[in-house]
Amino acid sequence: NAGVTQTPKFRILKIGQSMTLQCTQDMNHNYMYWYRQDPGMGLKLIYYSVGAGITDKGEVPNGYNVSRSTTEDFPLRLELAAPSQTSVYFCASSTLAGDYTGELFFGEGSRLTVL
Amino acid sequence: GENVEQHPSTLSVQEGDSAVIKCTYSDSASNYFPWYKQELGKGPQLIIDIRSNVGEKKDQRIAVTLNKTAKHFSLHITETQPEDSAVYFCAASKGGTSYGKLTFGQGTILTVHP
């Protein structure tokens, strides 16, 4: 299993541009999340999904949108990029089944810089 | 909402020493407390977690303690090794279907000197 895969790993955007961060998981997990990590800070939840077709806001959703059309994919859309969105973005998935209840499986992150 | 405070922000120890990282939380409804380790350039990885019906949990050199009354929990690493060097995050959530809706602490950079 590849686990959670994020693309791209690095991206530089100009102010006002838009882009989509891709996330896919092959563990058949129902739950998926997007977190952002600013320098010297902990991770903050942007959006999450409990299954295909269901998404909800986290702590810092402004400026972002998500969709969940399949169990595997959970893309994060940035509209009108702003310097405040410069961060490292982590996608994660989890399940409530079996021995892994509660554990988040993270991707390796996507580093975004907005200039 | 929940607020998680983590201390210290940096911790430097000699190989073989113990390391302790402490966290406090504000929401008494939180009942799930995981610890994640993040190595450079990688995503966080769960190392141990504890639920509010348990006061202490151990896994080899790692242990976590929870004091619900005081709303604090701690990570203890014994016999530290250079490969323990990383950033450690504590977190809290309300558990159940909200397990993954974590509020993270600010992180502790642990350096283990050979």
What mean pLDDT, rounded, does chain B reach? 95
Q: Per the structure block, which two tokens stand in for B3?
A: 């607020």
Alpha helices in A1-115 (DSSP H): none
Element (H, E) at B4: strand B4-7
Residue A88's CB is within 10 A of a number of other CB atoms, namely: 18
Nearest CA-CA distance, residue A80 and chain B, Å: 26
Across the interface, whether the CB atoms of A92 and B34 are under 8 A apart is answered no
Q: Which of A40, A90, A101 sits opposite B99 (nearest CB)?
A: A101
CA dihedral sign, ordered A39, A41, A42, A45: negative
| Contact of B51 with B32, CB cutoff 8 Å | yes
Q: Rounded to whole angstroms, how far apart are CA atoms B81 and B37?
A: 14
**Cβ-defined contact of A45 to B101 (cutoff 8 Å):** yes
**Does residue A62 belong to the interface with chain B, where contact is any CB pair within 8 Å?**
no
User: What's the pLDDT band for A102 if we cut at 50, 70, 90?
Assistant: confident
pLDDT score of A98 more than 80: no
Task: Place A39 in a pLDDT band, splitting at 50, 70 and 90.
Answer: confident
**Contact present, A114 and A83 (Cβ < 8 Å):** yes
**For B2-37, how does the pLDDT look when each residue is reduced to its tens digit (9 = 90+)?**
999 999 999 999 999 999 999 999 999 999 999 999
Is A112 an 8 Å CB contact of chain B? no
Per-residue pLDDT at A99: 58
Residue A107, pLDDT above cutoff 80: yes
pLDDT, position A87: 97
Selecting from A31, A40, A42 the residue whose C-beta is nearest the C-beta of B104 gives A42
Interface touch B43/A41, C-beta < 8 Å: no
pLDDT at A100: 58
A42 — phi, psi (to 5°)? -75, 175
pLDDT digits (tens, 9 = 90+) for A48-76: 999 999 999 999 999 999 999 999 999 99
8 Å CB contact of B101 and A58: yes
Return the pLDDT at B42. 92
Residue B6 C-alpha, separation from nearest chain A C-alpha, in angstroms: 10
Is B101's Cβ below 8 Å from some Cβ in A?
yes
**pLDDT exceeds 90 at position A2:** no
